Amino acid sequence: MRTPQAVACINVLSLQHNLKQVRQFAPDAKILAVIKANGYGHGMETVANALLDADAFAVGTMQEALQLRSITKDKAIVVLQGIFDASDIQQCVAYNLQPVIHSEYQLELIETAKLDTPIRCWLKVDTGMHRLGIQPDQLTSMLGRIQQAANVDRPVTIMSHMACADDPAHVENQLQIETFDDLEVDEKLPRSLANSAAIIAFSGTHYDWVRPGIMLYGISPVQDRTASELGLQPAMTLKSRLIAIHQLMQGDCIGYGATWQCPEDMSIGVIGMGYGDGYPRHAPSGTPVLINGKRVPVVGRVSMDLITVDLRELPGAAVGDEVILWGEGLPIEEIADEAETIAYELVCRLTSRVEYQLVS
């Protein structure tokens, strides 16, 4: 059997634990578990099967929704980008999908479609992020049209999305929360505002449905607290192995561009993982990896298939030793900081070369 080098171990129990943490933070809200982008890179099927206790699932696109429907027959599925043309509406009926209406053209498509069964919809209002959503002053007229539309199964859920909840002190948060609170909406209509960061930082935003994504995967959504401080467990541990060890001389240079030079005679380890697997190429020298429970620094540039590390602090390291790139014992948030990106991007961009293994 082929022995894989890059492996993403997905811990099903951690996913389930994190869902329970969401319930602790938002005990009175229903949970729309966001599993877009292949379950934030953890594998849509794995995540969907692990999180069957969620009240509904959300994905980004119609394509993802159809994939998810082949995995779960009866769970409600919300399509965050909604429909784009008449055939999408027919798919929503055929596969029982709930589109978000974020633009007037989408309501027009639904109004003029010929449907046997009405579809359940979510209506997205722009409260200040200025990405998707109708404007607050369009809401009354849109709701009036929805009230008349035979093709819409009521009630519609009113939703919006926050731009800065990861930075709780940001002034934009209160502005968006007030705008959402002030919307002229029948009190009986269900509402949804909070992503992971808002679930944690703003308990007043929970309303009827919360929409956690990143925290389900055990990654902290807020800048000022770590995942472990929030009681979250990393669901993905990315691993590889040492595939070579070299004794080099003072002054020897490592890797492309010869950007790192040995300050003394020393040993260098080579790991079978690189940006071709999804490890960030911009992780600089000094970024930690975990070998036999000890952190050692990356030295030199990350290349497509390989990473080099300084083994001076780990004289017992041997070819074949397991290396953890992030996950258990090495928070992905730290690696993201080193590479000047966010953990969301790191988990989403693992490539097809990485083999997935489930642990539970």
Q: How far is the CB of 351 from ligand PLP (least distance, A)?
A: 21
Q: How far apart, in Å, are the Cα atoms of 304 and each of 48, 235, 280, 290, 348?
A: 31, 25, 10, 20, 17
CB-based closest residue to ligand PLP: 213
Show the tokens assigned to 64: 């993802």
Please choose, from the candidates 91, 80, 103, 94, the residue with its C-alpha nearest in 3D space to the C-alpha of residue 32: 80
Nearer to ligand PLP, 36 or 120 (CB): 36
Q: How far is the CB of 219 from ligand PLP (least distance, A)?
A: 8
d(C-alpha 266, C-alpha 252), whole Å: 10
Would you give the DSSP letter of residue 100?
E
Residues in contact with ligand PLP by CB under 6 A are 34, 36, 80, 161, 195-197, 211-214, 221
Nearer to ligand PLP, 64 or 328 (CB): 64
d(C-alpha 197, C-alpha 185), whole Å: 25
Q: Please identify every residue annotated as catalytic.
A: 36, 256
Q: How far apart, in Å, are the Cα atoms of 342 and each of 80, 334, 335?
A: 21, 9, 9
Nearer to ligand PLP, 100 or 268 (CB): 100
Q: How far is the CB of 191 from ligand PLP (least distance, A)?
A: 13
Nearer to ligand PLP, 197 or 268 (CB): 197
Q: How far is the CB of 214 from ligand PLP (least distance, A)?
A: 4
Q: Which regions of 127-261 does DSSP assign to beta strands (E)?
A: 152-159, 191-192, 209-210, 236-248, 253-254, 260-261
